[in-house]
Amino acid sequence: MIKKALIWMLAAGCCIGSYATDARVISMGKHDAFFMDEVSIFRNPANINLYSNMVYGSYGVYKPDPELDYNGTGNQLGSLARTNRDPSDPFFGAIISYSMNQNTDDGNRFPMLSVGAVFNRKDRMLDYVTKGTDKYLGKKNDEFLEPLGKVDLLMGYTFKNGGMIGGGVYAALQKHDSYRRLETTLYKGQIGMNWPIAKTMDMDISLGGGMLTAIADSAGYTKSRANRDLFGTVEGRLFSKMAGLNGDFVPHARLDVMSFEKDNIYQMDVAAGIGLNLRIDKGFFWSGVEFLYGQKDSSNSTARESVGGRVSFGIERSIWWDWFVIRVGGKKDLVYVTEGVDVGFLKENNPSDGSEDDLVGLGFGINIENRLRIDVVAAEDIVYTFTNLFSGPQHHLFNRVSATYSF
C-alpha cells in the first residue's frame, strides 16, 4: 500500500507538469504514447481522474485549401486572393470531480468520482469516411453523410490507494431514409485503468471497441462500404520512475483490429516500443522508438503488409518569462510495404505537407498561474516568410489553437 501523502504528491506533480491540449501534442512530437497529458483521456478514460475540474476547448484545425489558397497555379485571382475562412472540427468539454474524502487533513482527496463530456470532437475512426485521408473507405464518386451529434461521455473513479478506473462512450451519427438509405454512424465504448503496481510504477491499460456504418451516395446510387462492421483496440503503458532522474521509463504497446465484411477486408496494426520522459529545468522532454507492423487482407485487392519503425521526440521550455512556453518536436515513420509476392517499396510519413502526421512541429504556449493554458501550433513556414503576411497572399500563422482552464 502506497502512503496517502506520497500518492497525492505524485498525482499533483503529474497534473501540474502534464496539463495539455491537442495543440501541445501536435507541436511536440505528433503523438502522446510515452507521456501523460490531457488528451490521454481519449486513450484511457480512467485518466480523467488526473484532470479534475477542468474545461477544455479547441478552435479546431486550419487546413490549407488549394481551391482558396494561391499556390502559383490554377487560381485566377493570383496574388490578389485574400480569403477568410474558419477552421474545421472545433470542440469543447469539461471534467468535474467530487471528492468523497472531504474531511481530511493530509490533502488526499481520494476516493474521488469524476465525470466528463466533450462535444464535437472528431474521432480518428471518422477518417474512414473522410476524403483525403489514407484510411478512406470510399471510391471516387462516393459521398458520405457528415455525422452529427459527436460526443464523448466519460466517467472515472479513484480508490484510496490511488488506483483509477474509468469508462467512456463515443457516438457520431447521421441517417437519411427515403427511397434509399444513406447512413454514417460510429459507436465506440472503452474501459481502462491506471493502477499503482509498485511505489514507483503505474500500469495504464485500456480496452475498447465499436461499430461503424458507412453507406454512401455514389453517383446517384447507394453503396455500402461498411455496415455495422466491428473494430477493437487494446493498449498498455507502464510508467516506471527512474532512480536519479526526474522522469519515467515507458514501455508501450497497442493493437488495432478491424473487419469490413462488405469487401472482406481485415486490417491489423501493431505498435510497440520504449520511451522516456523527463521534467527538465523550466520544461519537459520526451523521446521514444517503436516497432510498427500492419496487415491488410481484402477480396478486392492484393494482401498488403508493412514492417518498420518510428522515432519521435518532443521538448518544451519556458523562455524569457515563466508564462511563455516554446515547443518543438518531430516524428519519423519508415516502413517497408509488400503487396503480394512481387511488389515491395519503402514508405514514410510526408515530411512537409502541414498535416498532423508530417515530420516536425513548432508551437507556443501561454500559462497563466497554472490555471489558464493556451496552446497554438505554428504554420511550418512561419519562420521563413511569416506565411507571406506582408509580401503576398494572406495565409495563416497558426493552424491549431486549444486551451484549458482548471478550477
Check pLDDT > 80 for residue 267. Answer: yes
Question: 0.75 cut: is pTM over it?
Answer: yes
According to the model, what pLDDT value does residue 74 have? 46
370 falls in which pLDDT band (50, 70, 90)? confident
Q: Which residue has the higher pLDDT, 381 or 294?
A: 294
pLDDT for 209-265, tens place per residue? Answer: 999 999 999 988 999 999 999 999 999 999 999 988 899 999 999 999 999 877 788
Helix (H) or strand (E) holding 15: helix 4-18
CA dihedral 39, 273, 156, 108 (to 10 degrees): -100
**Average of per-residue pLDDT across 264-282:** 94
Which range is least confidently modeled, 152-161, 374-383, 394-403?
394-403
Helix (H) or strand (E) holding 385: helix 382-385
Mean pLDDT of the chain: 86
**Average of per-residue pLDDT across 342-348:** 90
- What are the angstrom distances between the C-alpha of 13 and each of 8, 178, 305, 344? 8, 56, 42, 48
Q: Which cell numbers in the block locate residue 138?
A: 470510399
According to the model, what pLDDT value does residue 379 have? 84
4 falls in which pLDDT band (50, 70, 90)? very low
Q: Which residue has the higher pLDDT, 350 or 86?
A: 350
**Three-state secondary-structure class, residue 396:** coil
Check pLDDT > 70 for residue 319. Answer: yes
pLDDT for 157-188, tens place per residue? Answer: 999 999 999 999 999 999 998 778 899 999 99
Check pLDDT > 50 for residue 14. Answer: no
Q: Shortest CA distance to 292 belongs to which of 275, 315, 268, 314?
A: 268
For residue 214, the Cα-to-chain-centroid distance in whole angstroms is 22
- What are the angstrom distances between the C-alpha of 70 and each of 66, 74, 80? 7, 8, 9
Q: Give percent of the chain above pLDDT 90.
A: 64
Domains of the chain by residue range: 4-406
Q: Shortest CA distance to 81 belongs to which of 59, 57, 64?
A: 64
Phi/psi region, residue 116 (left: phi>0; alpha: psi -120 to 50; beta: rest), is: beta
> How far apart, in whole angstroms, are the C-alpha atoms of residue 60 and residue 122?
10
